[in-house]
Amino acid sequence: MSLDDKKEIENLRREIRRHDVLYYVEDQPEITDREYDRLLQKLIDREKEHSDEIPADSPTQRVGGKVSERFTGVAHKAAMLSLDNTYNLDEFRDFHNRVVKGLNKGKPEENQVAENDIEYVVELKIDGLGVTLTYENGLFVQGATRGDGRTGEDITANLRTIRSIPLNIPMEKEDFNFLEVRGEVYLDRTAFLKINEERKAGGQPEFANPRNAAAGSLRLLDPAITARRPLDIFVYSVGFMDHMPFKTHYEAMQKLKSLGLRINPRTVLCRNFEETFALIESWREKKQTLSYDVDGLVVKVNALGYQEKLGSTARHPRWAVAYKYEAEQVVTEVEDIICQVGRTGSITPVAVLRSVLVSGSTVSRATLHNEDEIKRKDVRVGDTVVIEKAGEVIPKVVRVANEAGKSRGQPFKMPQKCPECETKIFRPEGEVAWRCVNAACPAQVKERLLHFASRRAMDIDHLGPAVLDQLVDGGNVQHFSDLYTLKAEDLVELERLAEKSARNLIDSIEKSKSAGLTRVLHALGIRHVGQRAAAILAQKFHSMNELQEASFEDLEQVDEIGPIMAESLRAFLGQEANQQEIQRLAELGVVLIEECKEIGNRLRGKQFVLTGTLKDFSRDQAKEKILSLGGRVTSSVSSKTDYVVAGADPGSKRDKAEKLEVEILTEGQFKRLLAE
């Protein structure tokens, strides 16, 4: 193989691996599935020319995905393959032709399967996370993620929190004792929007789409948090059985349904290719009306005997294919290319566009991801470009589409300095992003302060972006501690801030001093230390002093605190500037101990329903109290409810509680329970 070929192939492998990590590990894909497929196909083609030199770790040699080290591994009984994609009638017809050819291979003329005699089942391709559910003698014994297709992660505890997964199924009358089914766990759009709203209010990064939110929720280490996310599942196939009594996939699905597993009601059996394609077309627009995201359809050969005969390649079954609708693309012009600075200092180039309507929303900016991407696409100011938007994915520039002969601007060059603070920026080895390392960079400072003040952190009311901009730009505030030295006089000078609001702001800042160690730890914005970790640390160490003295080993030994978090904490607390800042916060009266030591445990596993009006709490406050002690709040009463808290004018929930003999608490009893 020539040196150039070798280089090209290696580059392709590196690029695909990077996208694998973005997709499977970080849940932050940068490219569409179609683009990924193109890259992979290119690699497959190149490797074919040198087929004796394909290393076992080439992306073409594996099923896809990566197993995280946080959960116990589970070896799948049969590999969980992924699906090959088709995007139009021609590609879909090619798939069908391959099926016909595969089935007729080696068969005499008179026994050949007629092209129009193959039944297909058409299903929605739910955009969530693939899982397996194993039932032994009717009992749900294990659930796992797909992982790399051969080994997944044991997430049984988290899956048990999903209401639509039966913990028992009536298998006693069946002639099988072992059943492993596969399905997709997902979040519907309303639930996704709600979670993001909460994350935004809590200063946490929002999920890019429902799939990421579902994946994130399912792979949490604490099932109690998973339980609060309204995840759901559709089961779409049998993975493994000790005795397979079915002739067709459709029949198997009907059986699973009768056993109480949730099958998507839009699953349709088509008699032939024509019917199948007509059905596919009918979903193109209709899929928007569903309450959950689908990223296309799945078409499966119905007869299990045919499936067996067709078999699979290393990556895909030959008897099934995904049909995807391409993301909508439109043409517009690049008016400018700017660079944005994030909270951690990463610098992202963004194309400012002439506004256009794509997939129902107006787009005037599109991400260019990073320097390598801009170079690869050679996007310049003034260029005509194709942009696309797929579902919830951030709009992106696909390619330049200038008319022939159009004169062009200069190639884009990354700035050498941070666009906000003019510090020289640098690109760490092996990373794609340039970074501004100036911790005092106003863009970063503002983002950090916004997080510090957010509701789930120090909960400082009236400190929004407009006020913060002025405080930072005017030099009044740079560090968190500077907030605590602000005086009403400093604020009256700010634009658009009435005297009363200034007063309120000062009061909120004052009040936040007693927020407690959990909130402070969360507010400091230490990498990898979110709200839950902050609560665990505060509960364990009780004071900032003790935490500062903890070694890496002390930290790592704490339940749920892994090496990455421990490392990040040590790095943060070890920096002199941070130590000084903590010292200053203490001197200014910010409480750095945790008063409530038992946080998170006392009501663990207890399920509450609130009804009627409480005197001393709003619904949200009551709910927050329960959650902070480890309990759960649901909206309807069932046999699983432990307590119904009934305020004045309770509704039908109280009656239902009586009927089900669930304990009913008055407000007084509820308060005593909290204070116990």
Interface positions with ligand IVH (CB under 6 A): 81-83, 123, 125-126, 130, 146, 184, 236-237, 298, 317, 320, 322
Q: What is the CA radius of gyration of the chain?
A: 28
Closest CA to 467 of 457, 477, 481: 477
Please identify, using beta-carbon distances, which residue of 261 and 524 lies nearer to ligand IVH.
Answer: 261
User: In this structure, what are the phi and psi dihedrals at residue 534, rounded to the nearest 5 degrees?
Assistant: -60, -45
User: Inter-axis angle of helices 273-286 and 89-104, to 10 degrees?
Assistant: 150
Using left for φ > 0, alpha for ψ between -120 and 50, and beta otherwise, residue 460 falls in beta
Residue 275 C-alpha from the chain's centroid: 36
Taking CB positions, which residue lies at the least distance from ligand IVH? 130
Q: Minimum CB separation from ligand IVH for residue 33, in Å?
A: 9
For residue 653, what are its two tokens? 């929930």
- Burial group, residue 458, by CB count within 10 angstroms (0-12, 13-18, 19+): buried
Q: Minimum CB separation from ligand IVH for residue 312, in Å?
A: 7
Question: Per the residue annotation, which of 125, 300, 377, 671 is the catalytic one?
Answer: 125
Torsion angle defined by CA atoms of residues 460, 466, 470 and 472, in that order, rounded to the nearest 10 degrees: 60
Contact 237, 317 (CB under 8 A): no
Please identify, using beta-carbon distances, which residue of 81 and 627 lies nearer to ligand IVH.
Answer: 81
User: Inter-axis angle of helices 210-218 and 189-201, to 10 degrees?
Assistant: 70
- Burial group, residue 428, by CB count within 10 angstroms (0-12, 13-18, 19+): exposed
Largest CA distance in the chain: 95
Other C-beta atoms closer than 10 Å to the C-beta of 113 total 16
CA distances from 590 to 78, 406, 585, 593 (A): 56, 61, 5, 9
Element housing 435 (H / E): strand 434-435
Contact 103, 310 (CB under 8 A): yes
Contact 47, 58 (CB under 8 A): yes
Closest CA to 222 of 483, 519, 560, 477: 560
DSSP secondary-structure letter at 25?
I
Q: Catalytic residue at 125?
A: yes
Active site residues: 125
